[in-house]
Amino acid sequence: MKGGLVILWVMFFMPGIRLDAQEVRRVKITDMEKLMSESKHPLVINFWATWCTPCVEELPSLIREVKKHEADSLQLILVSLDDKENFPEKLRDFIRARNYEGTFLWLDETNADYFCPLIDSSWSGAIPATLFLHKKNGYRKFVEAKLSDRTLQDILKEMFRSPSRNK
């Protein structure tokens, strides 16, 4: 277990380290909490599943818009809430078939009443759900809905404003 945490830490907290698009890592909610609290980079954390049509429709926009912010060191973390039977083969095949790029995780938790409030107190458990975090300027926004391209672009603009204009 300790070795797995070291690998997870290296993946998220070492600049320039990226997962291959076909890799999907298993994480617990405690790993997600650590990622959210310790990341030095702005984050977009999206919760989705292969069976969720709005989630799948939203993924290409998320990937495309986050890529536009590479200079800002913005990182996209795509957290699957698929059933255990889909991990890792079905998830890997799904990602590979669509040539998706990003960091892919599978949340190994089944009790949404436990893990949802640890991500955001307003989260009912519905997906897609996206958390935007920029610790340097104190930005935090949670959206429990499919994001339109325009809404996503607006949120990312807002996320990268200076701290004085974020308030």
Q: Considering the chain, what percentage of its residues have pLDDT values greater than 70?
A: 83
Structure tokens at 25: 């890592």
Q: What is the pLDDT of residue 162?
A: 55
Domain boundaries defined on the chain = 2-165
β-pairing verdict for 43-48 and 129-134 = antiparallel
Mean of pLDDT values over 104-120: 97
In DSSP terms, 48 is beta-bridged to 80
| Residue 77: Cβ within 10 Å count | 23
- What residues pair up with 27 in beta bridges, in sequence order? 107
| pLDDT band at residue 15 under the 50/70/90 scheme | very low
Entry pTM = 0.85
Q: Inter-axis angle of helices 2-13 and 29-38, to 10 degrees?
A: 40
Cβ distance 50 to 97 under 8 Å? no
3-state secondary structure (DSSP) of residue 45: strand
Fold (topology level) of 2-165: Glutaredoxin (3.40.30)
Model pLDDT for residues 53-90, shown as the tens digit of each residue: 999 999 999 999 999 999 999 999 999 999 999 999 99
